[in-house]
Amino acid sequence: MPLLEKHDRHAVRVTLNGRQVEGHAKPNMLLSDFLRAELGATGTHVGCEHGVCGACTVRVDGKAVRSCLYLAVQADGRQVDTIEGLGREDGSLGILQQAFHENFALQCGFCTPGFLTTLDHYLGTNPDPTEDDLREALSGNMCRCTGYAEIIRAAMAAAAELRKRS
């Protein structure tokens, strides 16, 4: 099998929020950088870049993962969903975003994409969580503004709204 050469840029095709897109990456390019610099999807934020803060969380093949601990070439052929995919077609806020807005669950907003993409996956696996479940699920996301109480409240509200609609 041929090696992907370290200084070459290799084609990486992903389905980004339902749309087929292509960019190029050297083997050492992080998925987070690929999304932002190659595909222009700058909604994914990069905080610590070693898997601690959770800001860069995206969904790959449906699963919430850290895009700073994922190489772009490893994502080739996969489905990647980011914060840009959470709004509605007409540009208005999706259910999770609306719940965060209404419950004051963000201030500076830097960590918010990571919280929303994590919840987007988690609430699919556990539609009726307790507050403790949510604290556990969100323990891998850091927020330095809110103190988390509003985030948990927003997540509970979003879960209730999603249950009502399903």
Which spans of this chain sit near other proteins (rule: CB under 8 A)?
1, 3-7, 26-28, 30, 33, 49-51, 54, 57, 63-66, 68-71, 73-74, 76, 118, 121-122, 136-140
* Tokens found for residue 9: 């840029």
Residue of 23, 17, 26, 20 whose CA lies nearest to 113:
17
Least Å from the CB of residue 10 to other proteins: 8
How far is the C-alpha of 146 from the C-alpha of 32, rounded, in Å?
Answer: 24
Closer residue to other proteins (CB): 76 or 102: 76
Least Å from the CB of residue 40 to other proteins: 19
Least Å from the CB of residue 65 to other proteins: 5
Closer residue to other proteins (CB): 64 or 99: 64
How far is the C-alpha of 62 from the C-alpha of 101, rounded, in Å?
Answer: 24
Least Å from the CB of residue 88 to other proteins: 25
Closer residue to other proteins (CB): 65 or 154: 65
Closer residue to other proteins (CB): 47 or 85: 47
Q: Show Cβ contacts of residue 91 under 8 Å, excluding neighbours closer than 6 positions.
A: none
Residue found under tokens 């479940």: 133
Q: Please, are residues 123 and 59 in contact by the beta-carbon 8 Å criterion?
A: no
